[in-house]
Chain A
Amino acid sequence: MGYVLNFTLIWRHFDKLWSGLILSLELAVLSIGIGCIIGLALAILYVSGGRILRSLIAAYVEVIRNVPLILLVYLVFYGIPTVFDFAYSNTTSFVVTLSAYAGAYLVEVFRAGLDAVPRGLIDAGKAIGLTPFQRLVHVRLPTMLRIALPALSNTFVSLFKDTSVASVIAVPELTYGAQWINFNTFRIMEVYLVVTGLYLVTGYAILIGLRALERRYAIGR
């Protein structure tokens, strides 16, 4: 033992962690936004589409959910540019990967939510003469969002934590900043303690915000 904690070097390089945290949040927000669009579109197609469409969407969901994120990150960053004649920055490539990853998880959340919309509400919509499209926009989607909210918050926080995987392709987010300080200053304990704190505070802040939203809008099952 006899290890003395010394945070001086961490504070000197704190800008690396701070800008990393901001980038982590940006990656998360962007990927979750795109993921939500993918998820919502595919969930609607899934519940209204034919068998072929359903199997295609199910295949996308199962493949993404059963492969480690780090492997998908490598596949998109190193693999795809070898067949198509283009290259993208590591940040863009990660956003693409995490969006596709988020999409697969969010399809399931949205689909389960759409399935849980009470039959009576949809029938009531029919009874007052709403077209199928109006029923979707005014009845099914708003109800589905309120039902899916708790599951959505958990998925969002989990996706925020998944941004740490971006460090493996040198995207300068929070975990990458931690490794930089780790390798350059060797204040290993200190840097990981600070980064753990940053992840915890940010993650729980997101969760508390979403829980407040749930208390306001969520419908209990």
Chain B
Amino acid sequence: MLDQIAYAIPFLLPGLLVTIEVSLITVAVSTVIGIVLGVGLVYGPAALRWPIRGFSDIIRGIPILVLLFFVYYGLPLTGLNLQSFAAAVLGLTIFKIAQVIEYVRGAIETVPRGQMDAAKAIGLPFHERFFYVIAPQAVRRFLPPWLNGVTDAVKGSALISLLGVGDLLFGIQKVVARTYDPLALYCFGALLYFVMNYALSIASRALERRFSYIRE
């Protein structure tokens, strides 16, 4: 079993890097866009709020796998031809944006109303109310679930092997197809994913403890 794994490691490393790369891009892009849309969802006019709410509810209502297939097989029909890597990142990012929107909404809504009213009362304009009063308090509510969501991004990225992207799972399957030893390889793959995600979960829990003094 161990020599099987030793044999596989050189074949898995590039895939591991692709998994990390995809997760990083997905998380970075979706965090930026998700925060903007999330703020729009809470403070925007109805014309902005409803499309964002609709987007978030629809995307979170379908399996990631269906979304990935939609993007990968469906988008070329509209004239947009994406390579499998780009389609995979796009699909995962769309899904993650919807999640980040909800983290942001949840974080902002837990800041007591009185904070906003007080900031209004001392005459701060909206951008100052947001950046000096609401955002610093919302960030502590946002970070733990967001970091937890990074784990989801890494796990979700395993699905892109189905689009032919050479990620970690794809690498594992290539080796399995050669050695016919699925158990050892899948267990080793599970271990690799576990190590990455467990480190993230520990960090997330530490953050939660760090901010656990906040009570309404």
Residues of A within 8 A of B (CB): 1, 3, 62-63, 65-72, 74-75, 78-80, 82-83, 161-165, 167-168, 175, 178-179, 182, 188-189, 192, 195-196, 199-200, 203-204
Task: State whether B66 touches A75 (Cβ < 8 A).
Answer: no
Task: State whether B74 touches A165 (Cβ < 8 A).
Answer: no
Task: State whether B183 touches A168 (Cβ < 8 A).
Answer: no
* Residues of chain A with a CB closer than 8 A to B79's CB: 1
In the bound complex, CA of A83 to CA of B187 (Å)? 13
* Residues of chain A with a CB closer than 8 A to B194's CB: 62-63, 66-67
Task: State whether A68 touches B156 (Cβ < 8 A).
Answer: yes
6 smallest CB-CB distances across A and B, nearest first, come from A68-B158, A164-B63, A66-B197, A79-B183, A75-B186, A78-B182
Contact partner, A189, options B65, B77, B176, B182, Cβ 8 Å: B77
* Residues of chain A with a CB closer than 8 A to B156's CB: 68
Contact partner, A71, options B62, B77, B189, Cβ 8 Å: B189
Task: State whether A188 touches B77 (Cβ < 8 A).
Answer: yes
Q: Assess whether B58 is interfacial by the CB under 8 Å rule.
A: yes
Task: State whether B186 touches A196 (Cβ < 8 A).
Answer: no
Q: Assess whether B119 is interfacial by the CB under 8 Å rule.
A: no
Q: Assess whether B82 is interfacial by the CB under 8 Å rule.
A: no
B141 to chain A, nearest CB (A): 16
Task: State whether B65 touches A62 (Cβ < 8 A).
Answer: no
Residues 177-202 of B contacting A (Cβ, < 8 Å): 181-183, 186-187, 189-190, 193-194, 197-198, 201
A216 to chain B, nearest CB (A): 24
Task: State whether A70 touches B159 (Cβ < 8 A).
Answer: yes
Q: Assess whether B20 is interfacial by the CB under 8 Å rule.
A: no
In the bound complex, CA of A72 to CA of B201 (Å)? 19
Contact A68-B201, Cβ < 8 Å, known A63-B194, A82-B183, A199-B63:
no
* Residues of chain A with a CB closer than 8 A to B7's CB: none
Residue contacts A-B, CB under 8 angstroms, 10 given: A3-B78, A63-B190, A65-B201, A66-B151, A70-B169, A71-B169, A74-B173, A161-B62, A162-B63, A200-B58
Contact partner, B61, options A1, A175, A203, Cβ 8 Å: A203
Contact partner, B65, options A65, A74, A164, Cβ 8 Å: A164
In the bound complex, CA of A74 to CA of B172 (Å)? 11
Contact A200-B158, Cβ < 8 Å, known A74-B182, A74-B186, A82-B182:
no
B15 to chain A, nearest CB (A): 12
A20 to chain B, nearest CB (A): 12
Interface centre among A66, A69, A162 (most CB of B within 10 A): A66
Contact A165-B182, Cβ < 8 Å, known A68-B158, A71-B169:
no
A61 to chain B, nearest CB (A): 11
In the bound complex, CA of A71 to CA of B160 (Å)? 12
* Residues of chain A with a CB closer than 8 A to B73's CB: 182, 188, 192
Residues 70-87 of B contacting A (Cβ, < 8 Å): 70, 73-74, 77-79
Task: State whether A167 touches B198 (Cβ < 8 A).
Answer: no
Query: Please, which residue of chain B has its CB at the minimum distance from the CB of A77?
Result: B182
Q: Assess whether B5 is interfacial by the CB under 8 Å rule.
A: no
